[in-house]
Structure 1
């Protein structure tokens, strides 16, 4: 049965989460933080953030970038959080659950439940939807249908036993690129994804990308986002 989602309109990931979950003065674990932009934003809102990144290259970049007030960058996977039982107010997965190996997704959700404070702890899962022109363009070189489906299945399979209450939301974003070359360089610069440049620059990708051209000459796509918020038992 499909989840009934409340439509939040157009907004960013942090805006969506912070509008629904208090983060100021709270301990937050940002699991799969990537380059740490969301971790920094959460800290700027008053959170004390543990920013966990499994990719060793990106994790090293995060550490080497210098200290960030109220953010601690560490290397590690979602299936083994370096946190005590019941020690954390909020756990967030910003577009990262589907990057967890499918065999570890159940463990990752169990770990989130373990570290959250009983009765008040909150898990926020932000995942890209599998529709919209951005997904249609990117699937020519990076089709995440299987892993995104696995992430949703893991939530359906585990959340009812781990959490008392859940709310489901949907919002939309509009990724923008100055040119095809700019998009190619952006995706090829990701250390947490490995792309075949030939596929990124293929004629199929170019054709799908060209469909996003605007009157102003840049390229804009729509990307629906799914937000699940679970409350700890």
Structure 2
């Protein structure tokens, strides 16, 4: 088995998340579980682009979940409220589990239980696609001014290692890639990152000004664009 690594020792492949998923996941006829679907952007892409049988999309943020329930044009998708540590699905009921930048948002004392739950609901030989941001890059430097995720990201990686070492999963691939992100204005950045409905970052005036000063040099007529490194651990249920 290839040794798992928190960061890439070499270059990062230029690719989008959806391109990586398309390359490695057998979507045809699959029952898919997406844990931590957020605004359901990727949920929609998966349901509309790939020949899946079904998508169950969970979200622990009650405000966002209520918004997702208003989506009526995705007949293959069922939105469910709840966290990864307590998945309301039957044993061996899904073929693919997807977590897109969400494992590190699980409380650290519940990460191991979340991976146990993923193992429980996967069918034998099923795949878990766990994508996590790598702690590096200009955008990360801005985020850590008000939400430093170094500790939780390392904890998420350690939980994945532990699940593999315990024999629950086999590491099929570890993929390092970098993708583009953008936002159109500082107001959009505020809405998405400074003041999300799921978190209170305790932003006072001084911190707000510090963050704005860090963002402003990256803003142009078309907003701000960043290149962000990621790691995917593709695990197969044993």
The TM-score, its normalising length taken from structure 1, stands at 0.89
In the alignment, which residue of structure 2 is the partner of 1:84?
A: 90
For the aligned residue pairs, the C-alpha RMSD in angstroms reads 2.2
Instruction: State yes or no: 1:223 paired with 2:228.
Output: yes
In the alignment, which residue of structure 1 is the partner of 2:192?
A: 186
Alignment of 1:122-133 (within 5 A): 122-133=127-138
Could you report, residue by residue, the CA deviation over 1:159-209 in whole angstroms, capped at 9, with x for unpaired residues?
A: 232113331011112222333233223324522232334369634323322
User: How far apart are residue 124 of structure 1 and its match?
Assistant: 0.5
Structure 2 counterpart SS, 1:148: helix
CA contact (8 A) 2:33 2:97 kept: yes
Alignment of 1:24-173 (within 5 A): 24-44=28-48, 45-47=50-52, 48-66=54-72, 68-118=74-124, 120-160=125-165, 161-173=167-179
Could you report, residue by residue, the CA deviation over 1:80-128 in whole angstroms, capped at 9, with x for unpaired residues?
A: 111222121000111110111111100000111111111x200000111
User: How far apart are residue 2 of structure 1 and its match?
Assistant: 5.7
Alignment size in residue pairs: 231
CA contact (8 A) 2:171 2:233 kept: no
CA contact (8 A) 2:175 2:232 kept: yes
Taking the aligned partners of 1:200 and 1:224, their CA distance within structure 2 comes to 29
CA contact (8 A) 1:79 1:105 kept: yes
The TM-score, its normalising length taken from structure 2, stands at 0.87
CA contact (8 A) 1:140 1:199 kept: no
For structure 2, the residue ranges without an aligned partner over 5 or more in a row are: none
Could you report, residue by residue, the CA deviation over 1:5-52 in whole angstroms, capped at 9, with x for unpaired residues?
A: 586622322221122111121001001111211111111112210101
Over 3 Å counting, the alpha-carbon distance change for 1:60 and 1:177 in structure 2 is closer
Instruction: Find runs of 4+ consecutive structure 1 residues off by over 6 angstroms.
Output: none
For structure 1, the residue ranges without an aligned partner over 5 or more in a row are: none
Instruction: State yes or no: 1:22 paired with 2:15.
Output: no
CA contact (8 A) 1:165 1:232 kept: no
